[in-house]
Amino acid sequence: MPIGWLTDVAEADTYFETRYKSEAWDSVPEATGDYARTAVLTTAYNRIRYHGDFSIPASPTATQLSKLKDAQCEMAYYFIIHQVNNAEDRRKGLQAQGVVGAGIVKETYDKDSLDKLPIPPIVSEILKDFYKYGESMVVIPIDRNENEDLDTDVVEED
Read off the pLDDT of each residue in 79-91 and give the average, rounded to a whole number.
Answer: 75
pLDDT in tens, 11-22: 999 999 999 888
* Mean per-residue pLDDT of the chain: 83
Q: Find the radius of gyration of the CA atoms of the chain.
A: 22
Give the closest residue to 99 by CA, choosing from 113, 117, 86, 81.
Answer: 113
Question: Which helix (H) or strand (E) element contains residue 108?
Answer: strand 107-108
Give the closest residue to 123 by CA, choosing from 61, 42, 54, 26.
Answer: 54
Which amino acid, residue 132? K
Share of the chain above pLDDT 90, in %: 47
Ramachandran category for residue 25: left, alpha or beta (phi over 0 → left; psi -120 to 50 → alpha): alpha
Query: Residue 42's pLDDT is what?
Result: 96
Start-to-end CA distance of the chain, whole Å, equals 59
pLDDT in tens, 26-65: 888 765 668 889 999 999 999 999 998 999 999 999 999 9
Give the integer Cα–Cα distance in Å for 140 and 131.
21
Q: How confident is the model at residue 94 (pLDDT cuts 50, 70, 90)?
A: low
pLDDT in tens, 119-142: 999 999 999 999 987 555 566 677
Contact assessment for residue 129 and residue 67, using Cβ atoms and an 8 Å cutoff: yes
Give the closest residue to 5 by CA, choosing from 34, 45, 48.
Answer: 45
Please classify residue 80 by burial: count the beta carbons closer than 10 Å to its beta carbon, then call 0-12 exposed, 13-18 middle and 19+ buried.
buried
